[in-house]
Structure 1
Protein backbone atom coordinates (compact mmCIF):
# COMPACT_ATOMS: atom_id res chain seq x y z
CA UNK A 1 0.00 0.00 0.00
CA UNK A 2 1.07 3.56 -0.54
CA UNK A 3 0.12 6.82 1.05
CA UNK A 4 -0.41 9.65 -1.41
CA UNK A 5 0.25 13.10 -0.02
CA UNK A 6 -1.77 15.66 -1.95
CA UNK A 7 -3.01 19.09 -0.97
CA UNK A 8 -1.97 18.63 2.64
CA UNK A 9 -3.98 15.41 3.04
CA UNK A 10 -2.95 11.77 3.03
CA UNK A 11 -4.73 9.14 0.94
CA UNK A 12 -4.13 5.40 1.26
CA UNK A 13 -4.32 3.36 -1.96
CA UNK A 14 -2.76 0.34 -3.64
CA UNK A 15 0.78 0.27 -5.01
CA UNK A 16 -0.23 -0.19 -8.65
CA UNK A 17 -2.89 2.52 -8.41
CA UNK A 18 -0.47 5.02 -6.87
CA UNK A 19 2.22 4.23 -9.45
CA UNK A 20 -0.23 4.61 -12.35
CA UNK A 21 -1.54 7.92 -10.93
CA UNK A 22 1.98 9.33 -10.59
CA UNK A 23 2.99 8.21 -14.09
CA UNK A 24 -0.11 9.81 -15.60
CA UNK A 25 0.50 13.01 -13.64
CA UNK A 26 4.08 13.17 -14.89
CA UNK A 27 2.97 12.64 -18.50
CA UNK A 28 0.28 15.32 -18.21
CA UNK A 29 2.75 17.72 -16.61
CA UNK A 30 5.20 17.22 -19.46
CA UNK A 31 2.44 18.21 -21.88
CA UNK A 32 1.19 21.16 -19.78
CA UNK A 33 -2.21 19.51 -19.38
CA UNK A 34 -4.36 18.73 -16.37
CA UNK A 35 -7.05 16.11 -15.83
CA UNK A 36 -9.39 15.02 -13.06
CA UNK A 37 -8.74 11.42 -11.98
CA UNK A 38 -10.80 9.33 -9.55
CA UNK A 39 -9.13 6.53 -7.59
CA UNK A 40 -10.22 4.31 -4.70
CA UNK A 41 -8.72 5.17 -1.31
CA UNK A 42 -9.07 3.54 2.08
CA UNK A 43 -10.36 5.62 4.97
CA UNK A 44 -9.02 5.26 8.52
CA UNK A 45 -12.03 3.11 9.46
CA UNK A 46 -11.25 0.70 6.60
CA UNK A 47 -14.01 1.77 4.22
CA UNK A 48 -13.10 2.35 0.60
CA UNK A 49 -14.23 5.59 -1.02
CA UNK A 50 -13.44 7.43 -4.22
CA UNK A 51 -11.10 10.42 -4.15
CA UNK A 52 -10.78 12.89 -7.02
CA UNK A 53 -7.37 14.33 -7.88
CA UNK A 54 -6.66 17.20 -10.23
CA UNK A 55 -3.32 16.21 -11.71
CA UNK A 56 -1.12 18.04 -14.16
CA UNK A 57 1.78 20.47 -14.39
CA UNK A 58 1.12 22.18 -11.04
CA UNK A 59 0.39 18.99 -9.09
CA UNK A 60 2.56 18.25 -6.11
CA UNK A 61 1.99 14.59 -5.32
CA UNK A 62 4.18 12.41 -3.14
CA UNK A 63 3.66 8.69 -2.63
CA UNK A 64 5.34 6.73 0.12
CA UNK A 65 5.24 3.02 0.76
CA UNK A 66 3.58 1.86 3.95
CA UNK A 67 4.03 -1.36 5.85
CA UNK A 68 1.29 -3.03 7.88
CA UNK A 69 -1.46 -1.01 6.23
CA UNK A 70 -3.89 -3.84 5.71
CA UNK A 71 -4.85 -5.71 2.57
CA UNK A 72 -3.71 -4.25 -0.74
CA UNK A 73 -6.29 -2.03 -2.44
CA UNK A 74 -6.52 -3.15 -6.06
CA UNK A 75 -8.36 -2.00 -9.17
CA UNK A 76 -6.71 -3.64 -12.21
CA UNK A 77 -9.14 -2.04 -14.68
CA UNK A 78 -8.37 1.46 -13.35
CA UNK A 79 -4.62 0.77 -13.52
CA UNK A 80 -4.93 -0.40 -17.14
CA UNK A 81 -6.99 2.68 -18.01
CA UNK A 82 -4.48 5.05 -16.39
CA UNK A 83 -1.60 3.28 -18.14
CA UNK A 84 -3.41 3.60 -21.48
CA UNK A 85 -4.08 7.29 -20.83
CA UNK A 86 -0.41 7.77 -19.96
CA UNK A 87 0.69 6.08 -23.19
CA UNK A 88 -1.79 8.24 -25.10
CA UNK A 89 -0.23 11.41 -23.67
CA UNK A 90 3.35 10.21 -24.15
CA UNK A 91 2.80 8.86 -27.68
CA UNK A 92 -0.35 10.39 -29.10
CA UNK A 93 -1.72 8.85 -32.23
CA UNK A 94 -3.49 11.27 -34.50
CA UNK A 95 -6.00 10.54 -37.20
CA UNK A 96 -4.61 8.98 -40.37
CA UNK A 97 -3.11 11.43 -42.80
CA UNK A 98 -5.32 12.17 -45.77
CA UNK A 99 -4.06 10.48 -48.91
CA UNK A 100 -3.32 12.82 -51.76
CA UNK A 101 -6.01 12.87 -54.36
CA UNK A 102 -5.90 13.16 -58.10
CA UNK A 103 -5.36 10.99 -61.15
CA UNK A 104 -1.57 10.91 -60.64
CA UNK A 105 -2.22 9.07 -57.35
CA UNK A 106 -4.84 6.71 -58.74
CA UNK A 107 -7.67 8.58 -57.02
CA UNK A 108 -10.22 10.66 -58.94
Structure 2
Protein backbone atom coordinates (compact mmCIF):
# COMPACT_ATOMS: atom_id res chain seq x y z
CA UNK A 1 0.00 0.00 0.00
CA UNK A 2 1.23 3.51 -0.81
CA UNK A 3 0.29 6.96 0.46
CA UNK A 4 0.08 9.52 -2.33
CA UNK A 5 0.60 13.08 -1.12
CA UNK A 6 -0.63 15.69 -3.54
CA UNK A 7 -1.94 19.27 -3.43
CA UNK A 8 -1.87 19.54 0.35
CA UNK A 9 -3.71 16.29 1.06
CA UNK A 10 -3.18 12.55 0.68
CA UNK A 11 -4.86 9.29 -0.20
CA UNK A 12 -3.85 5.64 0.06
CA UNK A 13 -3.88 3.26 -2.87
CA UNK A 14 -2.33 0.00 -4.04
CA UNK A 15 1.35 -0.32 -4.89
CA UNK A 16 0.80 -1.00 -8.59
CA UNK A 17 -1.69 1.84 -9.00
CA UNK A 18 0.70 4.26 -7.29
CA UNK A 19 3.54 3.18 -9.58
CA UNK A 20 1.40 3.50 -12.72
CA UNK A 21 0.16 6.91 -11.56
CA UNK A 22 3.70 8.21 -11.06
CA UNK A 23 4.86 6.93 -14.46
CA UNK A 24 1.85 8.58 -16.09
CA UNK A 25 2.50 11.86 -14.24
CA UNK A 26 6.10 11.79 -15.50
CA UNK A 27 4.98 11.17 -19.10
CA UNK A 28 2.43 14.00 -18.88
CA UNK A 29 5.07 16.38 -17.54
CA UNK A 30 7.50 15.39 -20.28
CA UNK A 31 4.84 16.20 -22.90
CA UNK A 32 3.69 19.37 -21.12
CA UNK A 33 0.06 18.22 -20.86
CA UNK A 34 -2.36 17.48 -18.03
CA UNK A 35 -5.09 14.93 -17.41
CA UNK A 36 -7.59 13.97 -14.75
CA UNK A 37 -7.50 10.35 -13.61
CA UNK A 38 -9.72 8.37 -11.27
CA UNK A 39 -8.12 5.69 -9.11
CA UNK A 40 -9.42 3.58 -6.24
CA UNK A 41 -8.19 4.53 -2.81
CA UNK A 42 -8.87 5.63 0.72
CA UNK A 43 -9.11 9.38 1.31
CA UNK A 44 -7.56 11.32 4.18
CA UNK A 45 -10.98 11.16 5.89
CA UNK A 46 -10.90 7.34 5.79
CA UNK A 47 -13.53 6.91 3.08
CA UNK A 48 -12.84 4.22 0.48
CA UNK A 49 -13.83 4.88 -3.11
CA UNK A 50 -12.65 6.62 -6.24
CA UNK A 51 -10.17 9.48 -5.94
CA UNK A 52 -9.92 11.93 -8.84
CA UNK A 53 -6.55 13.57 -9.38
CA UNK A 54 -5.51 16.14 -11.96
CA UNK A 55 -1.88 15.63 -12.91
CA UNK A 56 0.33 17.53 -15.28
CA UNK A 57 3.63 19.33 -15.76
CA UNK A 58 3.54 21.18 -12.43
CA UNK A 59 2.34 18.24 -10.33
CA UNK A 60 4.32 17.52 -7.21
CA UNK A 61 3.36 14.01 -6.17
CA UNK A 62 4.97 11.97 -3.41
CA UNK A 63 4.44 8.23 -2.99
CA UNK A 64 5.52 6.57 0.25
CA UNK A 65 4.98 3.03 1.53
CA UNK A 66 2.63 2.55 4.46
CA UNK A 67 1.62 -0.42 6.54
CA UNK A 68 -2.07 -1.06 6.19
CA UNK A 69 -4.23 -3.99 7.16
CA UNK A 70 -7.44 -4.24 5.22
CA UNK A 71 -8.76 -3.93 1.70
CA UNK A 72 -6.13 -3.57 -0.99
CA UNK A 73 -6.68 -1.05 -3.75
CA UNK A 74 -5.40 -2.81 -6.83
CA UNK A 75 -7.56 -2.61 -9.93
CA UNK A 76 -6.04 -4.27 -13.03
CA UNK A 77 -8.30 -2.25 -15.36
CA UNK A 78 -7.15 1.07 -13.85
CA UNK A 79 -3.51 -0.02 -14.01
CA UNK A 80 -3.88 -1.10 -17.65
CA UNK A 81 -5.52 2.22 -18.56
CA UNK A 82 -2.77 4.25 -16.89
CA UNK A 83 -0.12 2.14 -18.64
CA UNK A 84 -1.91 2.58 -21.99
CA UNK A 85 -2.08 6.34 -21.52
CA UNK A 86 1.60 6.45 -20.49
CA UNK A 87 2.59 4.41 -23.54
CA UNK A 88 0.63 6.71 -25.85
CA UNK A 89 2.80 9.63 -24.69
CA UNK A 90 6.11 7.88 -25.29
CA UNK A 91 8.23 8.82 -28.32
CA UNK A 92 7.67 6.53 -31.26
CA UNK A 93 10.61 4.32 -32.17
CA UNK A 94 11.18 3.04 -35.69
CA UNK A 95 10.89 -0.67 -36.20
CA UNK A 96 14.19 -2.26 -37.07
CA UNK A 97 14.73 -5.38 -39.06
CA UNK A 98 16.63 -8.18 -37.37
CA UNK A 99 20.23 -8.58 -38.44
CA UNK A 100 20.78 -11.47 -40.80
CA UNK A 101 23.49 -13.89 -39.79
CA UNK A 102 26.35 -14.10 -42.29
CA UNK A 103 27.55 -17.48 -41.06
CA UNK A 104 30.57 -16.03 -39.29
CA UNK A 105 31.71 -13.95 -42.25
CA UNK A 106 32.16 -10.22 -41.98
CA UNK A 107 29.16 -8.27 -43.31
CA UNK A 108 29.50 -6.76 -46.75
CA UNK A 109 29.84 -3.05 -46.98
TM-score for the superposition, normalised by structure 2 = 0.77
TM-superposed deviation, 1:74: 1.1
Paired residue for 1:98?
none
Q: Which structure has greater helix proportion?
A: 1
TM-score for the superposition, normalised by structure 1 = 0.77
Q: Find the aligned partners of 1:79 and 1:30 in 2 and give their Cα distance.
A: 20
Extract unaligned runs of 5+ from structure 2: 94-109
Extract unaligned runs of 5+ from structure 1: 94-108
Paired residue for 1:49?
49
Structure 1 residues 29 and 44: alpha-carbon distance in aligned structure 2, compared to 1, 3 A threshold = closer
Structure 1 residues 50 and 34: alpha-carbon distance in aligned structure 2, compared to 1, 3 A threshold = same
Number of corresponding residues: 93
| RMSD value, Cα | 1.9
Structure 1 residues 30 and 45: alpha-carbon distance in aligned structure 2, compared to 1, 3 A threshold = closer
Q: Does 1:39 align with 2:32?
A: no
SS state of the match for residue 82, structure 1? helix
Q: Which runs of 4+ in 1 moved over 6 A?
A: none
